[in-house]
Amino acid sequence: MIPYPHIDPDIVRIGPFHIRWYGLMYLLGFIAAYFVIPRQEKSRSLGLQGATLQDLLFWVALGLIVGARAGHLVFYQYPYFDYYLSHPLEIIALWHGGMSFHGGLIGSVLAGYIFCRKKGLPFWGVADCVVVAAPIGLGLGRIGNFINGELYGRITEVPWAMVFPMGGPFPRHPSQLYEAFGEGLILFAILWKMQKKNLADGMMVALFLICYGTIRFILEFFREPDPQIGFILGFFSMGQVLCAGMILAGSSVIILLKKRKTNGS
């Protein structure tokens, strides 16, 4: 067993004002995206640089935050709807934690679509460029989860197991680090290699949906299900059900792109 490194989740505390590692990871993810997105040939052809890229990332960030919070409440907190109706300020209490990747994905897609419509940019082409950088923020976010000691893994006897402060006295998988490696480093390597190929607009989005969905679906077997809902379909977690939806959505995009290519030829 490896001792859990107790790292203060707060970097700075000044009265009620806190700067947390988790929030910093979000910020670093968007900074990385600002430098990674323009390095793609497709991004340069679309003019995703300078002020246009800054505006796009602002819209995506706003959609991600709103969507991630809304997704957390809808997907993971539905047993407590009455509580949130009685305490409406808790709905926007981001400082108490609670962000859903799948909700953030939906929110960022909607925000990106609105931005592209306003600017007259091709949505699928822009989305292809953005998703390449997404794994960087995902990996950093999982490191933030690890520092917070949240979203820990299931009980195990592997030599690298850790006892998390909020996970009781039992050694558990450091599943946050598994996800940081799989959803972050590995997924980024796959997408960065594939973006160099001359793929149809939308294909990178499909690849992201399928690869992320598959990687996380597998890694969810090592992660402790959310206690308020547990398993929802046999031994499958909510995260796995949502990831299955991502895989289906990505496969559907590929089918639609192939049909469009066939009809257009």
The whole-angstrom separation of Cα 103 and Cα 246 is 12
Token pair 């299955």 is found at 244
> Tokens standing for 185?
């480093």
Residue 212 falls within a domain, yes or no? yes
Cβ contact 185:215 at 8 Å:
no
Kindly tell me if the per-residue pLDDT of 96 is higher than 80: no
Identity of the amino acid at 153: G
Task: Give the percent of the chain with pLDDT over 70.
Answer: 92
Residue 2 falls within a domain, yes or no? no
Kindly tell me if the per-residue pLDDT of 223 is higher than 80: yes
**Confidence at 92, pLDDT banded by 50, 70, 90:** low
Q: Which residues are annotated as a binding site?
A: 142
Kindly tell me if the per-residue pLDDT of 102 is higher than 80: yes
pLDDT, position 234: 85
- Domain span including residue 168: 10-264
pLDDT, position 80: 66
> Tokens standing for 48?
């995703």
The lowest-confidence range among 54-68, 94-108, 145-159, 225-239 is 94-108
Summarised one tens digit per residue, pLDDT across range 187-211 is: 999 999 999 998 999 999 999 999 9
Residue 165 falls within a domain, yes or no? yes
Buried b (16+ CB within 10 A) or exposed e, 205-227: bbbbbbbbbbbbbebbebbbbbe
Q: What's the first-to-final CA gap in the chain, in angstroms?
A: 59
Residue 185 falls within a domain, yes or no? yes
Residue 67 falls within a domain, yes or no? yes
Summarised one tens digit per residue, pLDDT across range 105-148 is: 999 999 999 999 999 999 999 999 999 999 999 999 999 999 99
* 237: region left, alpha or beta (phi > 0 left; psi from -120 to 50 alpha): beta
Cβ contact 206:223 at 8 Å:
no
Residue 214 falls within a domain, yes or no? yes
Token pair 């917070």 is found at 148
Q: How many domains does the chain have?
A: 1
Residue 4 falls within a domain, yes or no? no
Model's pTM, two decimal places? 0.89
Cβ contact 166:152 at 8 Å:
yes
Residue 140 falls within a domain, yes or no? yes
Token pair 């006892």 is found at 163
Residues 6+ apart with CB under 8 A from 149: 4, 9, 164, 165, 166, 167
